Chain A
């Protein structure tokens, strides 16, 4: 299976900060990379698919980039509702493995 590694595992940031989360695959996955946001007790919600395509209804402060093995999720100006855990997922393989998650906490 394709292994996905996220960093950092957690970070503290303030409202208005620019936040960047990275995700690395152990083999090339082209642009087959999704990003999800999960809040406590809730199901995940897709933010970005195909590495950089913004899901309908997701605020434009979220953006994704990368291809091959290295990807980033950027939140341009962190809002109070963005404090959550973020996961990357590869969709190169039918067995869509996830990264370990990045918890974004309030500083």
Chain B
């Protein structure tokens, strides 16, 4: 079935790095853009980053620019989020989500279950 599975979360010290993965199955991965969305404990959803279907374009929320890098390997059906210089404000559940285009519109129609990143000393 169509699914996204995140991995790579864990506890990391402030200032350190972590790489998250989002593995896709059940659909033509190379045809879809993939986004990362995070949710701090008890808080709302925050859009983090997007990579286009072919990796040609990437965009980030201002708070992670210069620290996070999104990438993808279409041969492995996987998107990555490299997170550097982590701070307490990055503590959250990180979801990856599929960008479903519909005419001129888009929305997230498939989500992973999320992976928890905790930044703490």
Give the interface of A toward B (CB within 8 A): 1, 31-32, 34, 36, 38, 43-46, 49-50, 53, 55, 85, 87, 89, 91, 94-101
Contact = CB atoms under 8 A, between A and B. Distances in A.
Interface of B: 35, 37, 44-47, 50, 57, 59-62, 95, 97, 102-103, 105-109, 111-114
A55 B114 CA distance: 22
B44 A101 contact: yes
A53 B62 CA distance: 30
Contact of B106 (A87, A91, A97, A100): A91
For the residues of B in contact with A, the DSSP-based class is strand
Contacts of A99: 44
Given A43-B95, A46-B109, A53-B102, 6 more contacts: A44-B95, A46-B107, A53-B105, A85-B44, A87-B45, A99-B44
A95 B111 contact: no
Contacts of A31: 105
A96 B35 CA distance: 9
A87 B44 contact: yes
Contact of A43 (B47, B62, B105, B113): B113
